[in-house]
Amino acid sequence: MRRDGTKTDLPVLMPSADGLLCDVGGKATGVGLRLQLRLWHGAVLLVILAVALGVAEAADSTRESNFTVLLRWVPFILWGQEGHWQGFALNILISFFAMAIGTIAGAALGLMQISLLAPVRGGSWLVTQFFRNSPWLVLLFTIMLLLPFEIRIGDTIIPIPDWIKAVIGFSLPVMANISEVVRGAVISLPTGQWESAESLAFSRIQTLWMVILPQCYKRMIPPWMNWYAILAMATPLCSIMGVEESVTLTQQALSAEGGRPELLTPFYVFLLLIFFVYIYPIARWTVRLERKYVVKG
């Protein structure tokens, strides 16, 4: 049934806004959640930061300006000590590597879910559902405990940094969700595409690579970007395992300042602000691409 009420015997893909993605807290379910970030959210964070700095300043005017204290620690929070990947730069690095690994593994897993072999299809579905429905923090703890601190090969000792373990831990749920993105994009295409390729004597692999997947890229880009934004927001979880990212360095900066309670709100609101500045353009770009690539029935 078309939107205009007329009938058709061909499968029609409805717009992605109707089911492919959904608002956080919405009723629709699909391959992902759409982040609804607005510019006024950042403005609110700026107001909170300014109020927090003013309140902290009024609490004790005899000490060094709290804005000066925060400004002094900003480079340390953003990229840590010179010559090291730390702070917010490490958050971005972890998100890049975890997304790359998760995308490659998830694409393979998603194609396995549409395999004609029942054991392959069932096994890939089980792996997808297991990691998709596992808490990210539990996966991080598991990887931290399972992987050794170093690997000895003969006389050579290869250390495994904590941030590498964090990359592996984050890549597992990303892999499972990207698997669903790929599977959903493939099965959303009308069956006539497969039948047309079969009529031209294409093999199943040729059909996938030459007919199906080229049409799926535009459908997969918005949810893929959305999952990257979610991953970037989740990277502070690895601070619990001692990874020296932005939250860990913020705690170190506060400790170096004597644990002054009036600095807690300005420092952590600043953390919120830098994550917002990084993720907001991604969220807005995702919405624009979704509208651009929407498939109309």
Q: Which residues contact 133 (CB under 8 A, 6 or more apart)?
A: none
User: Residue 3 falls within a domain, yes or no?
Assistant: no
Q: Which residues contact 62 (CB under 8 A, 6 or more apart)?
A: none
Which has the minimum average pLDDT: 3-7, 27-31, 92-96, 197-201?
Answer: 27-31
pLDDT in tens, 254-272: 999 888 888 888 899 999 9
pLDDT higher than threshold 70 for residue 95: yes
Model pTM score:
0.79
Specify if 234 maps to a domain.
yes
Determine the Cα–Cα distance for residues 156 and 147; give it in Å rounded to an integer: 18
CA 81 to chain centroid, in Å, comes to 26
Range of the domain at 158: 16-292
Least confident of 85-99, 161-175, 248-262: 248-262
Is residue 172 a contact partner of residue 179, using CB atoms and an 8 Å limit? no
Residue 85 maps to which CATH number? Answer: 1.10.3720.10
User: Is 1 inside a domain boundary?
Assistant: no
CA 201 to chain centre: 39
Strands 32-34, 21-23: pairing kind: parallel
Q: Do the domain assignments include residue 9?
A: no
* Residues sharing a CB contact under 8 Å with residue 164, sequence separation 6 or more, in sequence order: none
Top mean pLDDT of 12-16, 64-68, 88-92 is at: 88-92
Q: Give the count of domains, the chain.
A: 1
* Residue 109: inside a domain: yes
> What pLDDT, on a 0 to 100 scale, did the predictor assign at position 25?
36
Residue 297 falls inside a structural domain: no
Residue 34 to residues 2, 17, 28, Cα–Cα distance (Å): 26, 10, 11
pLDDT in tens, 165-177: 999 999 999 999 9
User: Is 8 inside a domain boundary?
Assistant: no
Q: Which amino acid is at 272?
A: L
Give backbone dihedrals phi and psi of 177, rounded to 5 degrees, phi first.
Answer: -75, -35
Burial of 227 (0-12, 13-18, 19+ CB in 10 A): buried
